[in-house]
Amino acid sequence: MFITQALAAEEANAGGAFPPFDPATFASQILWLVITFGVFYMIMSRVIIPRLAGILEVRHDRISRDLDETERLKNEADAAHAAYEHELAEAKKNAHSIALEATEKSKAEAATAREKVEAELAEKMAEAEARIASIKAKAMAEVGTIANDTTSEIVKELIGGKLTKAEITKAVSASVK
């Protein structure tokens, strides 16, 4: 039965034009177009557009706050970086001054130690020279005696005779001059 009804409706419309292009239905089409456009306009202007405007306003406010927060954090970071650079420069300056002080102090200590060692060495040299001089003086004092004894022994061995001390001393002093 459904098929027969569809065929009957098709035969009834077969002679007419396509309904949207049929001039007899233009007035009703325009009326429904105006009503539909008016309803959509009212829905858009009263419901959808205010919601969209609210969403856009919230986003704009959030972006504004985020940008302000970003700027504040950037300023804090810049201030922290500047403070860090200042502290680093101060630390370098202090380290340099400490190094200079340590260098000067070590130079002074080294100079003091060197002077002390030089004084000790000079004292030891003076003592050694005094001992050498005393040993030399003793040796020179005994040279005459040793020479006399040696000459007496040599003469005794070579000649087989004996000389008096006066003769040996006279011979030794004549040979030294």
CA 147 → CA 70, 81, 174, distances in Å? 110, 94, 12
Query: Does 8 reside within a domain?
Result: no
The two tokens of residue 49 are 């557009």
Query: Does 9 reside within a domain?
Result: no
Query: Does 6 reside within a domain?
Result: no
Structural domain boundaries, residue 123: 16-176
Report which of residues 138 and 8 the model is more confident about. Answer: 138
What integer pLDDT is reported at residue 25 of this predicted model? 86
Query: Does 7 reside within a domain?
Result: no
Burial of 152 (0-12, 13-18, 19+ CB in 10 A): middle
Burial state string for 35-73 with b = 16 or more CB within 10 A and e = fewer than 16: eeeeeeeeeeeeeeeeeeeeeeeeeeeeeeeeeeeeeee
Over residues 89-98, the pLDDT tens digits come to 999 999 989 9
Query: Does 2 reside within a domain?
Result: no
Tell me how far apart the alpha carbons of residues 38 and 28 are, in angstroms, rounded to a whole number: 15
Query: Does 165 reside within a domain?
Result: yes
Predicted TM-score (pTM) above 0.75: no
The two tokens of residue 99 are 């190094």
Tell me how far apart the alpha carbons of residues 58 and 48 are, in angstroms, rounded to a whole number: 15
pLDDT band at 8 (very low <50, low <70, confident <90, very high): low
pLDDT band at 14 (very low <50, low <70, confident <90, very high): low
Question: Using an 8 Å Cβ cutoff, are 167 and 152 in contact?
Answer: no
Count of domains observed in the chain = 1
Over residues 113-163, the pLDDT tens digits come to 999 998 999 898 988 888 898 888 887 777 777 777 777 777 777 777 777
